[in-house]
A and B are shown apart, each in its own frame.
Chain A
Amino acid sequence: MLSRLITLCFALLFASGVAARDLQVALGAQDASQLDQRVEVNKAVVQPGSVSSFNEALAREICRRVGAHCVITPMRFAEILPGVEAGQFEMGFGNFLRSPDREKRVAFSEAIWRSSSRLVAKPQVAERLAQRIKQEVTLDSLRQVRVACIEGSMQHAYLRRVADEQALTLVPVKTMTDLLVALRENKADFTLEPMLSAYVKIAKEAPGSFEFVGPPVADRGLGGTVHIAIPKQQEDVLLIVNQAIAAMRTDGTYQRIVRQFFPFSMD
């Protein structure tokens, strides 16, 4: 009770300060076409199934509740964390999973949704590997294949850890679109990517073009709660954002935003 009271006092104390200034929001771009396009709040278009749009909607709602004027900047995933760390952005929406390394660099908000990772491949590629290794293709049974992932992501960090042991060739790319391009152009055999982001891209492809391979993975740092990255030095922003997230969950706004983009619960 006391901690809540203190938090509320801090929130009220800093609310005016946050509201009085613009908030720079970094948003993970779905593809390169979105880059360098600044989006004013309330001018975005809802795109069902788009993680980027979903994050943007969340950012808009938080900004509305905070009462701040937000400017959203689509960015490559690998650039978001350094930008937030440097204080160029007050909020970074990059579907960030928490990790000890990241916690040293930035602060994280309360969870906004939960994520898992999964392998994606062309059906015939997956089938060939299954025949070769004579077992179901899973993250652990991958051997001697090329795996693409977003540079700087948790998937990238994991694959680097197991690459030598499983004789994997890593293919780091910048955006989600680049992952499908790598598969399509046969630059990679598999991709390891967040399910939600992968779903958006694969759903647009022709049936049978790509498929999810093996079971989903939520452990080993490849899944869990997703957070907004906030500069460590801006505790006032962290407090007010957490207040806004809690309020959104309490009054059902969060669930309504989720329903605009996805047909299932994100928590």
Chain B
Amino acid sequence: MGRISVSSGNFSRSAWIDRILTNSSQFRFRASRAFALLAGVFALIFGLLLALLARDQQLVVEATDRLQQQTVPEIIRFQRLARNLEQLRQEGERIFAVNSPEARQQAVFVVTLVASHPSIIEHPQSAALARETERFLVEVNRQANENPAMLKDKYQDWVALASRLSLQVDDVAIQGINLTTADLTSVSRLMQTSRVKLIGALVLVGAFLLLLVFLLRKYLIRPLQKIDRQLSELSIERPEPEYPLTPITEIFSIEEASKRFHASLVENEHARHELEKLAHRDGLTGLINRRYFMLRAEAELLRAHRYERSVTVGMADLDFFKRINDTYGHAAGDVVLKTFAQMLLDSVRQTDLVCRYGGEEFAFVFPESTVEEARMLAERFRQRFSEYDIRLPDGGVVRITLSIGLADASRCPLEVALRHADDALYEAKHQGRNRVMIAAEDQPTSPV
């Protein structure tokens, strides 16, 4: 159920997009602008990542510089501070160890000197402890000068103070090391961040290239391939090329151009047909003219001779047609000719050739027909035409007959066969008109 629903939703969304693309040209855009926009977005994001990487690199450089210029000297100062604190403790031990007041005084002065050194003063915890140590030892020295035996009594207090000094030495040393740790941790974190950003930049480049290839393929290459195929197969026999909807203006223009080109081909072909028709047809009757008839008839006879098939040619002439012209005028004569031609077209087979041979004279070719078969057809037509009332422009009605001469053309050239048919026609006229005569080759025509 869920799958059907999802599929339906996708289809609806796709159909909606198609409808938008179909109905609105606003959703069609130039490829150059689209790819420029894409490249711009990519450049912006990539540039941003590069800027972030450059910033990280700058921070690393600053951190390492700080490590070199500040932290390391600071560590050295911490080491020396620790060294001085340790010296302070050693001098204190000396006060309790020596017997001479001069030696104790010397040690006290060193204690005072060390406790007064800026390296200790600027470190609050060390300064406080050093000051306390100095006061303690100065007081011990003063009392020891009066009563040396009291040194033993104060020694435990000194041990506690010396222990604190030792701890302070350790603390100071660790603080110095921690300075390095902080800087190195900062550098390490920055490098890790940079690595992530670098990977991100590479992924972005890869994704952009994939997207670019995908878009190029989908919106440029495949449509162009489709257009190429359609143009290769373009012909008037095939329908107008069809293309899927495209949002790219340039592709759309090419597709539309190919459609216009196809339409132009069809139009030209149609025009060519029309011109050909005009060139091959008789203007009044619509039948093919004599020249075209001769070409077609020649081809038909060649085919029949090659395959030894029957073929018959005929000549027909309207009887007393001049009289129609003289009596009713040429317009009436034209109506008679057109009526005759139309009835003729309605009566002959599709494969039969009929032409206006000249004036009121007409020629026929009956393929795949013996003379007898042609005679039957001609006779039936002659009968039908002679009984047909032809309505003239002035409303009058006339009837007109025709004479037909037929000749077998299956064994002789067209000109010979037509001459035989013409002879038969002459004979039909001679014998009183309104009849069909068949010409026998090398024999006199026989009336039907």
Interface membership of A218, Cβ < 8 A = yes
Residues of chain B from 136 to 195 with CB closer than 8 A to chain A in the complex: 138, 141-142, 145
- Candidates A207, A264, A267; contact of B145 at CB < 8 Å: A207
Binary contact track A113-154/B, C-beta < 8 Å → 1, others 0: 011101000010000000000000000000000000000000
Contact B117 A264 (CB under 8 A): yes
Q: How far is A228 from B110 in the complex, measured between Cα atoms in Å?
A: 25
Q: How far is A10 from B131 in the complex, measured between Cα atoms in Å?
A: 46
Q: How far is A216 from B104 in the complex, measured between Cα atoms in Å?
A: 21
Interface membership of B310, Cβ < 8 A = no
With A211-B138, A264-B84, A267-B77: A223-B110 Cβ-Cβ less than 8 Å:
no
Contact B145 A265 (CB under 8 A): no
With A208-B145, A265-B84: A118-B116 Cβ-Cβ less than 8 Å:
yes
Q: How far is A123 from B77 in the complex, measured between Cα atoms in Å?
A: 33
Contact B109 A203 (CB under 8 A): yes
- Candidates A116, A202, A203, A207; contact of B117 at CB < 8 Å: A116
Interchain nearest-CB distance for A4 vs B (Å): 12
Q: How far is A115 from B102 in the complex, measured between Cα atoms in Å?
A: 25
Interchain nearest-CB distance for B78 vs A (Å): 11
Interface membership of A215, Cβ < 8 A = yes
List the B residue with the shortest CB-CB distance to A225. B118
Interface membership of A195, Cβ < 8 A = yes
Q: How far is A212 from B108 in the complex, measured between Cα atoms in Å?
A: 10
Q: How far is A215 from B120 in the complex, measured between Cα atoms in Å?
A: 12
Contact B109 A114 (CB under 8 A): no
Main SS at interface, chain B:
helix
Q: How far is A218 from B101 in the complex, measured between Cα atoms in Å?
A: 30
With A114-B118, A218-B121: A264-B113 Cβ-Cβ less than 8 Å:
yes
Interchain nearest-CB distance for B147 vs A (Å): 14
Q: Give the interface residue-count category, chain B.
A: 20 to 34
With A265-B83, A267-B77: A212-B116 Cβ-Cβ less than 8 Å:
yes
Contact B117 A114 (CB under 8 A): yes
Residues of chain B from 385 to 439 with CB closer than 8 A to chain A in the complex: none
Contact B116 A216 (CB under 8 A): yes
Residues of B within 8 A of A244 (CB): none
Interface membership of A239, Cβ < 8 A = no
Interface membership of A196, Cβ < 8 A = yes
Contact B110 A263 (CB under 8 A): yes
List the B residue with the shortest CB-CB distance to A267. B80
List 10 tightest A-B contacts by C-beta distance, closest first.
A216-B116, A265-B80, A207-B105, A114-B118, A218-B118, A195-B116, A199-B113, A264-B87, A207-B101, A203-B109
B binding-site residues for A, Cβ under 8 Å: 76-77, 80-81, 83-84, 87, 91, 101-102, 104-106, 109-110, 112-119, 121-122, 131, 138, 141-142, 145
User: Known pairs A264-B83, A264-B117. 13 more at Cβ < 8 A?
Assistant: A199-B109, A207-B105, A207-B141, A208-B142, A208-B145, A215-B131, A216-B115, A216-B121, A224-B118, A263-B91, A265-B87, A265-B117, A267-B77
A binding-site residues for B, Cβ under 8 Å: 114-116, 118, 123, 195-196, 199, 202-203, 207-208, 211-212, 215-218, 223-224, 262-267
